[in-house]
Amino acid sequence: SLDEALRLIETSVPAPERGEAFIIGGGEIFQQALRHPSCKKLYLTR
C-alpha cells in the first residue's frame, strides 16, 4: 500500500536525504496519493 511504501522510506532513508516521492501507477494508486495527508504538491504530466 501507499502507506507501507511511505513508512519504508521514513524508516530507511535519513530525513535530510529524503526528497519528493513520485507516484507511478494506475488510477487507484493515484487516488490514494491525492487523498493522502502528506500530498502537498502535484506534478501533472502526460
Residue span of the structural domain in which 7 resides: 2-35
**Buried b or exposed e, range 18-29, using 16+ CB within 10 angstroms:** eeeeeeeeeeee
In contact, 9 and 18? CB cutoff 8 Å: yes
pLDDT value for 44: 87
C-alpha to C-alpha distance for 44 and 18, rounded to whole angstroms:
21
Decide if 30 is inside a domain: yes
Number of domains in the chain: 1
pLDDT values of the chain reduced to their tens digit, one per residue, 46 residues: 899 999 999 999 999 999 998 999 889 999 999 999 999 999 988 8
pLDDT value for 40: 92
Whether the CA torsion 34, 46, 7, 28 is positive or negative: it is: positive
CB atoms within 10 A of CB 40: 7
Decide if 17 is inside a domain: yes
Decide if 22 is inside a domain: yes
